[in-house]
């Protein structure tokens, strides 16, 4: 019993809580009792859940910023693309660039030279990012570092008066999820997880269709991240200090849920009219990663430390029940030689949508609509953001344009003093699926309660705005 409790604390990052005399259940605000001492199930992962929100960040509009002054941390994989995109958006000033590797900073600096942009550079040691955050001429800190650095950097940035934009996931432990929420509420600084798939074109189309009742009552949704990254994870040049392989070699669960989850949470108005109640995760064994490690280690001693590690399994499937009795399924597999898929399935009482396998399809009743009918649907339900900057986004690029759309939308909201599409409660909840799934997998797929990061305000929070009745006036330069 004590060992199981300690395992739960380790996974969720709640190691400071007492284990004595059932105090864990008291601190977590348990509503269920342990039914059998031989097993542990239904631990409510609700640390911090008894406290009322300091301030509700859902629907919060921060004061307008005529200029959005940005400092970037992390210029390896995702960072340079975001810097380039932001340089094309009206009202943006790129004030600072930071990366622990000086060469990465220099490459991005040179790319900005033709545009006359001359940011300050920070590099060379592990704390350089803090010096950048300490500046008083930065409004937004954009974080594109390894996963385990996201939450500490965002928390520090908010504590020092900056809004935070974070690449996915926003956090890797439950403790970090709660600290992000509480820091954002206390400082009234935005903390947006940059879930770019929420801005892909079909996802935006189906979101608008759902809002306007096309699907009827939403019954069930599915999302996934199925993407063969096996060779990339073992590539010494792909990820700094092998950070992604390290994550996959020591954690067992649904480690990267947000790409598939974010769009369907918005369709189902999660945190804004509905909430997740509990989840169950099932994981296959690892069929490939350890074998690759063994093969590489036979000729390169560097990989010996990756032999016989507790790799996550090939496929993890997570199912969720919501307060309104709807279901969600999220899958994760970045090892098997599958065709890329985020699934994006929307199932309602009147119709359904399915994006993968491509081409995407819409059904009404029990029949798929024809290509001609699909064009009519697209014309009717394409949302305002796509009509406004969709074609420009496609030309700029970045995962087909969705990267640019998310960056443009963030800046447009900040410049016009509008609420963000994705708030800190979304960042925390979507990220929490990973540690919660780890707990479920570690306990024979027992259910685990999903915390309500809004602490009750989900019942009155307003759904994401798609009409763009305000804003939408930020220009794209060049």
What band does 469 get if pLDDT is binned at 50, 70 and 90? confident
The three-class DSSP label of residue 476 is strand
Greater pLDDT, 305 or 12: 305
Question: Which residues contact residue 165 at a Cβ distance below 8 angstroms, ignoring those fewer than 6 apart?
Answer: 140, 141, 142, 143, 192, 194, 410
Residue 24 predicted with pLDDT over 70? no
Average pLDDT (410-418) is: 97
Does a structural domain hold residue 471? no
- CA atoms of 97 and 84, how far apart (whole Å): 12
Residue 84 confidence (pLDDT) above 50: yes
Which among 57, 77, 386, 340 is positioned nearest to 208, based on CA atoms?
386
* 286 falls within a domain: yes
First to last CA, the chain: 62
- 412, 473 contact by CB (below 8 A): yes
Indicate whether 346 belongs to any domain: yes
Number of C-beta neighbours around residue 466 at 10 A: 18
The mean predicted confidence, pLDDT, of the chain is 90
H/E stretch holding 383 reads: none
- Please compute the mean of the pLDDT values over residues 465-476 and round it to a whole number: 89
pLDDT score recorded for residue 21: 30
Q: Mean of the pLDDT values across residues 45-53?
A: 54
Q: What is the pLDDT of residues 185-230, one digit of tens each?
A: 999 999 999 999 999 999 999 999 999 999 999 999 999 999 999 9
Which residues sit opposite 279 in a β-bridge?
A: 320, 448
149: helix, strand or coil? helix
In a domain, residue 167? The reply is no
What is the percent of the chain where pLDDT is above 90?
86
Of the candidates 255, 267, 227, the residue with the CA atom closest to the CA atom of residue 432: 255
Q: Picking from 81-95, 110-124, 455-469, which range would have the lowest pLDDT averaged per residue?
A: 455-469
Whether residue 302 is contained in a domain is answered as: yes
Beta strands in 254-326 (DSSP E): 276-283, 316-322
Q: How far is CA 473 from the centre of its chain?
A: 27
Cα 82 to Cα 403: distance, rounded to the nearest angstrom: 8
Find the mean pLDDT for residues 142-154.
98
Say what the alpha-carbon torsion angle 87, 156, 160, 471 is, to the nearest 10 degrees: 40
pLDDT-derived band at 6, boundaries 50, 70, 90: very low
Which range marks the domain in which residue 222 is found? Answer: 198-383+424-459
Sheet containing 276-283: order of strands: 367-368, 361-364, 351-354, 345-348, 218-226, 327-333, 316-322, 276-283, 448-449
Residue 97 falls inside a structural domain? no
Task: State how far the Cα of 85 lies from the Cα of 72, in Å rounded to an integer.
Answer: 12
E strand spans, 130-217: 140-143, 163-166, 191-193
The rounded Cα 166 to chain-centroid distance in angstroms is: 8
User: How confident is the model over 455-466, as pLDDT tens digits?
Assistant: 999 999 999 888
CA distance 175 to 183: 12
Q: What is the DSSP letter of 358?
A: S
Residues near 401 by beta carbon (within 8 Å), at least 6 away in sequence: 201, 390, 393, 394, 395
**């990973």: which residue's tokens?**
434
Output the six-digit token pair for 144. 């594109």
| CATH number, domain with residue 327 | 3.30.360.10
**Is 444 among the domain residues?**
yes
Question: Considering the domain boundaries, does residue 227 fall inside one?
Answer: yes
- How many domains does the chain fold into? 1
Nearest to 49 by CA among 26, 28, 19: 28
pTM over the 0.75 mark: yes
CA distance 29 to 45: 9
Residue 51 binned pLDDT confidence (cut-offs 50, 70, 90): low
More confident residue, 22 or 84: 84
Higher pLDDT, 46 or 78: 78
Q: With the C-alpha atoms ordered 248, 84, 161, 133, is the resulting torsion angle positive or negative?
A: positive
């Amino acid at each position: 019993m004590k060992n199981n409790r300690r395992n739960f604390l380790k996974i969720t990052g709640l190691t400071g809580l007492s284990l004595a005399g059932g105090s864990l259940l008291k601190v977590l605000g348990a509503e269920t009792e342990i039914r059998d001492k031989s097993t542990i199930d239904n631990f409510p992962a609700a640390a911090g859940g008894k406290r009322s929100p300091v301030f509700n960040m859902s629907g919060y509009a921060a004061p307008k910023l005529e200029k959005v002054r940005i400092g970037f941390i992390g210029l390896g994989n995702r960072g340079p693309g975001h810097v380039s995109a932001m340089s094309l958006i009206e009202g943006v000033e790129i004030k600072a660039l930071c990366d622990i590797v000086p060469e990465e900073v220099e490459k991005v600096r040179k790319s900005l030279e033709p545009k006359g942009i001359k940011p300050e550079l920070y590099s060379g040691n592990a704390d350089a990012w803090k010096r950048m955050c300490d500046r008083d001429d930065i409004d937004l800190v954009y974080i594109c570092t390894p996963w385990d650095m996201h939450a500490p950097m965002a928390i520090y940035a908010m504590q020092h008066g900056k809004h935070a934009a974070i690449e996915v996931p926003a956090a890797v432990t439950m403790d970090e999820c709660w600290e992000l929420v509480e820091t954002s509420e206390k400082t009234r600084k935005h903390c947006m997880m940059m879930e770019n798939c929420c801005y892909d074109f079909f996802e935006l189309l189906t979101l608008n269709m759902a809002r306007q009742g096309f699907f009827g009552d939403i019954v069930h949704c599915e999302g996934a991240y199925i993407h063969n990254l096996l060779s990339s994870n073992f590539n010494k040049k792909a990820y700094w200090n092998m950070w992604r392989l390290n994550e996959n070699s020591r954690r067992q669960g649904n480690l990267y849920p947000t790409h598939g989850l974010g769009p369907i949470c918005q369709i189902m108005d999660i945190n804004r009219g509905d909430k997740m109640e509990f989840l169950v995760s099932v994981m296959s064994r690892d069929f490939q990663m350890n074998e690759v490690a063994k093969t590489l280690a036979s000729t390169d001693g560097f990989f010996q430390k990756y032999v016989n590690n507790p790799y996550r399994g090939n496929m993890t499937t997570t199912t969720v029940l919501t307060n309104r009795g709807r279901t969600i399924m999220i899958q994760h597999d970045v090892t098997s030689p599958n065709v890329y898929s985020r699934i994006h399935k929307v199932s309602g009482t009147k119709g359904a949508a399915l994006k993968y396998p491509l081409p995407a399809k819409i059904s009404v009743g029990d029949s798929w609509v024809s290509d001609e009918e699909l064009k009519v649907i697209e014309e009717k339900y394409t949302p305002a953001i796509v009509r406004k900057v969709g074609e420009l986004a496609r030309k700029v690029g970045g995962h087909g344009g969705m990267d640019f759309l998310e960056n443009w939308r963030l800046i447009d909201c900040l410049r016009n003093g509008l609420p963000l599409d994705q708030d800190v409660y979304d960042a925390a909840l979507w990220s929490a699926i990973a540690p919660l799934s780890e707990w479920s997998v570690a306990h024979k797929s027992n259910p685990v309660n999903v915390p309500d990061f809004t602490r009750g305000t989900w019942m009155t929070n307003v759904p994401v705005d798609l009409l763009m009745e305000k804003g939408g006036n930020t220009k794209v330069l060049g």
